[in-house]
Amino acid sequence: MTPQFNFDNSYARLPARFYTRQAPSPVAKPGIMRVNTKLALELGLDPAELIAPDGLAILAGNAVPEGAEPLAQVYAGHQFGGWSPQLGDGRAVLLGELMTPKGRFDLQLKGSGQTPYSRMGDGRAWLGPVMREYIVSEAMHALSIPTTRALAAVTTGEVVMRERRYPGAVLTRIARSHIRVGTFQYFAAKQDVEALQTLCDHVIARHYPKADGPLGLLNAVIEAQAMLIAKWMAVGFIHGVMNTDNMSIAGETIDYGPCAFMDTYHPETVFSSIDHNGRYAYARQPDVAVWNLAQLATALLPLLGEREAAIERATEAVHRFPALFATAWQDTFRAKLGLTTPEQDDPELIQSLLDRMAHGQADFTNTFRALGKPEARDQFTDPTAYDTWAEVWQTRLAREGRSVDDALTLIARVNPAIIARNHRVEQAIAAGLNGDLVAFHTLTEALQTPFADHPGFAAPPGKDEAVTQTFCGT
């Protein structure tokens, strides 16, 4: 049973300087961890063929499917503000682009061995980061947040050395594309205007066919990122490594390294073990998005005409982001409060609740989920802080002609009951390292219906369960 993939590899038809032809490196003894049956069917693939020996060989990198043109993409980027002129897929291989009933998608193996861009790394992934990305990316999809997705995870039967020995694994990732802000930066840094134009044309054709040239592309990406970051903020998600090489041109969440969802709310929350100065803290993500988009604008300048006029046009485009984000943020959080029509003072009402949550050490997810119920005040160290806010909120609801009970339906529809809490993810990884994947499967399944009540997964971590740091897989 050999899986049949319908490939049309447009990126592989770009000039050779965009990538290196690179086959995945075979592994010793592949084994299936999980295949995303629902996603496979959406893509027109047969899940039974994916778990059969021929399919497993492809998912592990031991065989290249017919029609694939495996390659590693090159890009550059700013990492924590520092410039890296050449990065690229150091532990991933793009097999090709799938033509599916849902459109065109990249099929990529992550953890598939060394490439010319590995920078002395081994090009492999260990079990923990593969499980984390599978769990969190699929949780994000279930929350209707644009994201890369996990088609499958397999073990390799090999050992990966990090701070100690870990079992190896490979993630099969699906994305609208893997083109990043850093892809544009790479060619801009080389002053390769021809490649910049080729890349711009490719991205417009693939992602933004209504965009009018490079300025239209820049504006489209800015709009997509404003919506995306607002959605992150609405669920308490912290990316952790918002480098320009980790910002997708397609407007999807990409590269789940030291990512996390907040438990107790605080705007300065940081989880990434390598974010020592809080550059990518929860509340700073919109500002970082502006900074990253300014780097994209800078990279596109050679395509925008005479330099002084180009700078003016690009600056004007980037300056649109704050207003776009503010509107998306207000719309998203207004719905979280059970409100449907905008009022001028809504941002103050939203921020007042968030400030009280930060001071009262309230759980982000459970507070919003419980609004209008007695359990909401129980989230605060001083419940009266919630009570005084709730009086103002109820008055606001009344101006819409609605009671708290009327608002509960919308509140339950937009505020998840469960998220991929750090301690649950880490528990699943710990069990997986001991050969037990039950927690991994159970958690992944529960997160597919995040707006349904799952009492066993809703509780925040106990004192001995809290996870305060997350780590990159490299």
**How would you classify residue 466: left for phi > 0, otherwise alpha for psi between -120 and 50, otherwise beta?**
beta
d(CA 126, CA 135): 15
SS3 content of the chain, % helix, strand, coil (to 5): 45, 15, 40
* C-beta separation of 255 from 241 below 8 A: yes
Is residue 236 within 8 Å of residue 216, measured between CB atoms?
no
Q: Hunting for tokens 């789940």 — which residue is that?
A: 256
Contact 440, 431 (CB under 8 A): yes
CB-side neighbour CA atoms (13 Å) of 347: 8
Phi, psi angle pair for 371, to nearest 5°: -50, 135
DSSP state of 112: B
* 153: CB partners within 8 A, 6+ apart: 33, 34, 130, 131, 134, 169, 170, 171, 172
- Residue 315: its H or E element: helix 307-318
Please pick, among 89, 106, 245, 263, the residue that the annotation labels catalytic: 245
Q: Could you identify the residue written with the tokens 């890369």?
A: 148
- Token pair of 136 as six digits: 């969190």
Contacts of 205 (CB under 8 A, 6+ apart): none
The rounded Cα 247 to chain-centroid distance in angstroms is 9
378 belongs to the catalytic site: no
- Residue numbers annotated as active site: 245
